[in-house]
């Protein structure tokens, strides 16, 4: 029998980039260059303008956003639903553009963009234990900025992210995140990569309110409706006994951010599946509480309740 080869197994080749991929990338780089000339506030203002234009008159996903907000907040008047919808597009536009101009920003400038921080002592205590830290967040405010803030404060951090369809743009995003101080773990590699990162005492950030490739999900209530939610952070928290926190990054009236950190309690009953679902529910409840406080900063453009258990009553299905 021949000896096993010492060469590492070759990774599957990435899909080749098309002409449209290259044009998209070039257009993005030109736009980002121009936006950086405006400075942070100017670029954010342009992002808000674009977002509001996408809502009206363009109307991309406007119906989805309005239906989901109305379902989550049944006490809202029609006028209030429309106002929160408009402001959610403004917030998404600002978040998108602020994220685009973030690479190249100094650590001090990142820190200066933060107005207040609540719960940082939880991060320091967790990192002092040497087991790493699990960070759970959601698509609220500027979730990408949160990773940059942790890196600016010297926390070694990995972010679990979904790969983009455009391979050139995906590589660009990975490079820019590294420039900010974050390492990227594609969601399909999270199960394999997370244990190693935790052993190296790194923080790992998961966005907890969208499906993730390679990570199992469970259904928990989100605004009273079953929502398919990644259970990866809960599994890792139990398996490796790692401190877990939820981090919200919300824009303040000043245009700066509040970083809100709170613990995700982990209880062990002896039933692993029950314990995992309980942790998923806890971090989903924290997110819901923050969304109730800042409804205009949530990513309502995503169909959060698109996937449902087969026995879901019609009145609790997707709005």
Per-residue pLDDT of the chain (319 residues; tens, 9 = 90+): 434 433 343 444 456 778 777 776 677 778 878 888 898 999 999 999 999 999 999 999 999 999 999 999 999 999 999 999 999 999 999 998 998 888 778 889 999 999 999 999 999 999 999 999 999 999 999 998 999 999 999 999 999 877 666 667 667 777 777 777 788 888 888 889 999 999 999 999 999 998 665 568 999 999 999 999 999 999 999 999 999 999 999 999 999 999 999 999 999 999 999 999 999 999 999 999 999 999 999 999 999 999 999 999 999 999 9
Domain that holds residue 35: 19-316
pLDDT of residue 7: 39
- Distance CA(94)–CA(100), nearest Å, equals 10
Q: Is residue 277 part of a domain?
A: yes
Tokens of 130: 């040497």
pLDDT of residue 169: 64
Closest-CA residue to 170 (of 315, 7, 317, 28): 28
Question: Is-contact 212 162, C-beta < 8 A?
Answer: yes
For the four alpha carbons of 55, 60, 63 and 65, in that order, the dihedral sign comes to negative
Q: Is residue 194 part of a domain?
A: yes
Q: Is residue 12 part of a domain?
A: no
Q: Which of 93-96's residues contact partners 24+ apart within 8 Å by CB, and which partners?
A: 93/47, 93/48, 93/49, 93/50, 93/51, 93/52, 93/54, 94/44, 94/45, 94/47, 94/48, 94/51, 94/142, 94/251, 95/47, 95/141, 95/142, 95/143, 95/144, 95/145, 96/47, 96/50, 96/51
Interstrand relation of 217-222 and 225-230 (parallel, antiparallel or unpaired)? antiparallel
Question: Is-contact 187 215, C-beta < 8 A?
Answer: yes
User: What are the strands, taking DSSP E only, across the chain?
Assistant: 114-118, 133-137, 157-161, 182-186, 203-207, 217-222, 225-230, 244-251, 257-263
Question: Is-contact 161 187, C-beta < 8 A?
Answer: yes
Q: Is residue 3 part of a domain?
A: no
Q: Is residue 303 part of a domain?
A: yes
Cα–Cα–Cα angle for 203, 245, 293, nearest 5°? 130
Q: Is residue 8 part of a domain?
A: no
Closest-CA residue to 246 (of 158, 128, 127, 123): 123
Q: Is residue 130 part of a domain?
A: yes
Tokens of 197: 């990162």
pLDDT of residue 189: 87
Helices 143-152 and 78-100 cross at an angle (nearest 10°) of 40
Q: How many distinct structural domains can be found in the chain? A: 1
Torsion, CA 256, CA 44, CA 60, CA 315, rounded to 10: 0
Question: Is-contact 257 251, C-beta < 8 A?
Answer: yes
Partner residues linked to 244 by β-bridges: 134
Q: Is residue 86 part of a domain?
A: yes
| Residue partners of 308: CB distance under 8 A and separation at least 6 | 219, 226, 228, 317, 318
pLDDT of residue 165: 65
């Amino acid at each position: 029998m021949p000896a096993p080869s010492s060469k590492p197994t070759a990774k599957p080749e990435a899909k080749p980039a098309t002409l449209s991929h290259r044009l998209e990338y070039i257009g993005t780089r030109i736009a980002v260059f121009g936006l950086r000339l405006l400075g942070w506030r100017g670029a954010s203002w342009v992002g808000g303008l674009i977002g509001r234009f996408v809502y009206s008159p363009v109307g991309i996903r406007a119906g989805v956003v309005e239906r989901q907000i109305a379902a989550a907040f049944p006490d809202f008047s029609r006028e209030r639903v429309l106002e929160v919808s408009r402001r959610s597009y403004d917030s998404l536009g600002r978040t998108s553009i602020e994220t685009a101009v973030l690479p190249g920003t100094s650590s001090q400038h990142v820190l200066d963009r933060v107005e207040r921080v609540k719960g940082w002592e939880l991060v320091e205590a967790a990192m002092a234990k040497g087991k790493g830290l699990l960070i759970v967040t959601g698509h609220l405010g500027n979730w990408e900025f949160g990773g940059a803030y942790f890196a600016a404060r010297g926390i070694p951090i990995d972010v679990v992210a979904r790969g983009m369809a455009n391979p050139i743009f995906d590589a660009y995003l990975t490079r820019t995140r590294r420039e900010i101080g974050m390492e990227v773990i594609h969601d399909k590699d999270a199960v394999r990569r997370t244990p190693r990162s935790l052993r190296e005492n790194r923080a790992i950030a998961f966005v907890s309110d969208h499906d993730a490739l390679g990570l199992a999900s469970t259904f928990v209530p989100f605004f009273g409706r079953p929502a398919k939610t990644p259970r990866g952070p809960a599994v890792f928290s139990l398996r490796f006994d790692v401190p877990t926190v939820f981090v919200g990054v919300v824009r303040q009236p000043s245009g700066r951010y509040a970083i809100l950190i709170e613990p995700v309690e982990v209880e062990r009953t002896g039933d692993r599946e029950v314990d995992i679902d309980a942790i998923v529910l806890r971090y989903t409840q924290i997110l819901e509480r923050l969304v109730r406080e800042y409804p205009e900063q949530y990513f309502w453009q995503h169909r959060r309740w698109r996937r449902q258990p087969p026995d879901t009553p019609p009145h609790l299905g997707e709005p």
